[in-house]
Amino acid sequence: MKIVVIGTGYVGLVSSICFAKIGHQVIAVDKIASKIDQLKKGEIPIYEPGLKEMLTEVVGLDNISFTTNLQEALIDAKAVFIAVGTPQDEDGSADLSYVLDAIKEIAKYSTSSKLVVTKSTVPAKTGEKIKKLLTETNPQIKFYVASNPEFLREGCAIEDFMKPDRIVIGYDEDQAKKILEEIYNYFPASKIFHTDLVTAELIKYGSNSFLATKIAFINEIADLCENVGGNIKDLAYAMGQDSRIGGKFLNPGPGFGGSCFPKDILALLNIAKTNNSSLSLIDAVVKSNNNRKNLMVKKIVNLLDCDVENKKIIWLGLAFKANTDDIRYSPSIAIAKELAKMGAQIFAHDFQAQSNAKKELNDFNNVKFIDDIWEAIKNCELMVIATEWEQYKQIDLSRVKALNPNLKIIDLRNILDISEIKKHGFIFDFIGNGS
């Protein structure tokens, strides 16, 4: 089927390439000409494992093309996916201006019937709004509207798209159902969950907010372990063995970040507020996660015996999580900034996020970016692990000890082997360190 995807950000680009992989004819559209030029050359503007290779493959199959010209792209397309950003507005609500701009253009340029599907995370009842806007702008054309929220995670986006736990489709008309079933016929029918438009929109917010709640919960239990003297790793593992709870998203850390959870929980709170509902639990999650950064700063300051000025810190990890170059709402950056404000000398490293972080930390002369962590290890007083890259997990602690016997370590992701750290006699701290 000929499909147009508007927006070549994370969701749009991964969806376009994966739709092409499962056999559709995809035209990916973006207003940013430089991005389209890059994609035409086979270059990927973001870091996502496996995506470049898959792009080469689908270009080879002649299943994908890139353009800035929506009008041309829409000719003969049966379905149009909206995958533009829905950034956070000042009041926490999702800013729909990019979505509505795209809708106006679809209405203006369409010359045949289309299914318009939101993949972007949009507030409840956006589908209704879209339908109204489309039919009012172009009453000659029959438009169908559906919601198909995307659940892929950065860093494992292809796997999430190609092997989904479920595909949610929400629609109010049979023709929308028919077209969506055709689009997703690569996947077993049992994977596809059918519902109405508003429910599909809410499922996305429900899922992200629940996951954020799970993380905030385990973070606070880790703090309790720290005060009571329990072992958070064992606790989280044993809790996760209960199939009603499940072991995923129970890793305590410096707080959740990224372009989705922080924005989506605020948007859900806004949806609740504007619909006379209260979500006190989600309110508490926001507060808990905001407070998390201060707690992490305190832990680091304590490990430096409350004397931060001019202390040299090697900072491992800047991305909001491993396997991405994304630093949006990265707890690592927020915490590093606080320490830099206190006068610490930070030597920052990341495998992919360094150039994005440079722009964000540009104002701090006392933050330097390094490629060689070993040179910095020699000269620093403290090593902070802030992002859970596999390579940090594998760090050779014997070599660290040999280069700098007095180096203190704080692991904000609980990825290091505590028995190894103890064996080498480091002064250390981690999350939920109650022992």
Our finding on whether 325 is near ligand UGA (CB under 6 A) is no
Q: Which stretch binds ligand UGA (CB under 6 A): 74-82, 139-147, 258-266, 285-293?
A: 258-266
Residue 330's Cβ-count burial label (10 Å; 0-12, 13-18, 19+) is buried
Q: Which segments of 263-400 are extended strands (E)?
A: 312-316, 345-349, 367-369, 382-385
Residue of 51, 197, 215, 421 interacting with ligand UGA (CB under 6 A): 215
Q: Could you give the CA distance from residue 14 to residue 46 in angstroms, rounded to a whole number?
A: 10
Nearer to ligand UGA, 74 or 222 (CB): 222
Question: Residue 256 Cβ, how far from ligand UGA at the closest point, in Å?
Answer: 3
Nearer to ligand UGA, 266 or 376 (CB): 266
306 in catalytic set: no
Nearer to ligand UGA, 311 or 349 (CB): 349
Q: Could you give the CA distance from residue 73 to residue 69 in angstroms, rounded to a whole number?
A: 6
CB atoms inside a 10 Å sphere around CB 246: 12
What one-character DSSP code corresponds to residue 352? S
Question: Residue 129 Cβ, how far from ligand UGA at the closest point, in Å?
Answer: 20
Q: Single out the catalytic residue among 18, 225, 260, 380.
A: 260
* Chain CA centroid to CA 225, Å: 28
Q: Which stretch binds ligand UGA (CB under 6 A): 60-68, 137-145, 167-175, 250-258?
A: 250-258
Collapse the DSSP code of 108 into the 3-class scheme (helix H, G, I; strand E, B; otherwise coil) and give the result: helix
Our finding on whether 121 is near ligand UGA (CB under 6 A) is yes
DSSP string, 168-218: EEEESSHHHHHHHHHHTTTS-GGGEEEE-HHHHHHHHHHHHHHHHHHHHHH
Nearer to ligand UGA, 8 or 208 (CB): 208
CB atoms inside a 10 Å sphere around CB 262: 22
Residue of 24, 321, 337, 349 interacting with ligand UGA (CB under 6 A): 321
The CA-based dihedral angle spanning residues 186, 26, 127, 97, taken in that order and rounded to the nearest 10 degrees: 150
User: CA distances (Å), 312 to each of 10, 56, 362, 373, 380, in order?
Assistant: 35, 44, 18, 13, 5
Residue of 12, 123, 170, 253 interacting with ligand UGA (CB under 6 A): 253
Question: Residue 153 Cβ, how far from ligand UGA at the closest point, in Å?
Answer: 4
Residue of 31, 125, 153, 393 interacting with ligand UGA (CB under 6 A): 153
Residue of 143, 184, 261, 426 interacting with ligand UGA (CB under 6 A): 261
Residue of 47, 98, 256, 430 interacting with ligand UGA (CB under 6 A): 256
Q: Which stretch binds ligand UGA (CB under 6 A): 19-27, 64-72, 163-171, 252-260?
A: 252-260
Nearer to ligand UGA, 334 or 380 (CB): 334
Our finding on whether 201 is near ligand UGA (CB under 6 A) is no
Question: Residue 323 Cβ, how far from ligand UGA at the closest point, in Å?
Answer: 9
Which residue's entry shows tokens 């924005």?
A: 263
For β-strands 427-430 and 167-171, DSSP reports them as: unpaired
Nearer to ligand UGA, 152 or 373 (CB): 152
Residue of 143, 184, 315, 320 interacting with ligand UGA (CB under 6 A): 320
Instruction: Output the CA torsion sign for 308, 311, 314, 319.
Output: positive
Binding positions for ligand UGA, 332-391, rule CB under 6 A: none
For 25, phi then psi, to 5°, come to -95, 110
Nearer to ligand UGA, 118 or 345 (CB): 118
Q: Could you give the CA distance from residue 138 to residue 108 in angstroms, rounded to a whole number?
A: 7
Question: Residue 219 Cβ, how far from ligand UGA at the closest point, in Å?
Answer: 7
Our finding on whether 250 is near ligand UGA (CB under 6 A) is yes
37, two tokens: 């030029």
Number of residues that bind ligand UGA (CB under 6 A): 20
Angle between the 261-274 and 197-228 helix axes, to the nearest 10 degrees? 120
Which residue's entry shows tokens 């499940």?
A: 246
Our finding on whether 392 is near ligand UGA (CB under 6 A) is no
* Chain CA centroid to CA 77, Å: 29
Q: Which stretch binds ligand UGA (CB under 6 A): 93-101, 145-153, 172-180, 306-314?
A: 145-153
Residue 289: which of 326, 342, 252, 336 has the closest Cα? 252
Mention every residue, 6+ apart, whose C-beta is less than 8 A from residue 129: 96, 100
Nearer to ligand UGA, 152 or 158 (CB): 152
Q: What is the contact surface with ligand UGA in residues (CB under 6 A)? A: 121, 150-154, 208, 211, 215, 249-251, 253, 256-258, 260-261, 320-321
Residues acting as catalytic residues: 260
